[in-house]
Amino acid sequence: MDAETFFSRYEPQVFANAIKLRKLLFSNLPDITEQVDLPARMVAYCYGQKYAELICTLIPSKKGLKLGFNRGLELPDPEGILQGTGKISRYVEIKSEKQIYSPALKNLVAEALAAYQQRMAKS
């Protein structure tokens, strides 16, 4: 199943926000791979099959949409938009189109890419 079909199974607003956010990810993460993970009910954006190569995930639900960041705990977040209490990952709850196009969210995506590039340079 492709990502658009996967997202289309959710509420119209969740679907619309997921499509916009997906476009933002593709335009800010060059050559990123999109992988639908049906059992986990999410779409992963990564540069390979290893967990260390995962940049972020889109997690739709009946309540809304989350943009999860691998190693989000390590990302600079001056605007304080990251949420969660996990040991590694953090997420941003997407509530509006305005939020999708916010500088704070674009900066987080850029920081996640930079963190990935640093991890790969060390390995």
Q: Which domain holds residue 48?
A: 3-122
Looking at the 3D structure of the chain, how many domains does it have? 1
Q: Which residues of 41-77 are buried (b: 16+ CB within 10 A; e: fewer)?
A: ebbbbbbeeeeeebbbbbbbeeeebbbbbbbbeebeb
The pLDDT value recorded for residue 50 is 87
- Summarize pLDDT for 79-91 with one digit per residue, the tens: 999 999 989 999 9
Q: What is the mean pLDDT of residues 18-29?
A: 97
- CATH code of the domain in which 118 resides: 3.90.1150
Q: Which two tokens stand for residue 105?
A: 């969210």
**Model confidence pLDDT, tens digit, residues 43-73:** 999 999 888 899 999 999 998 999 999 999 9
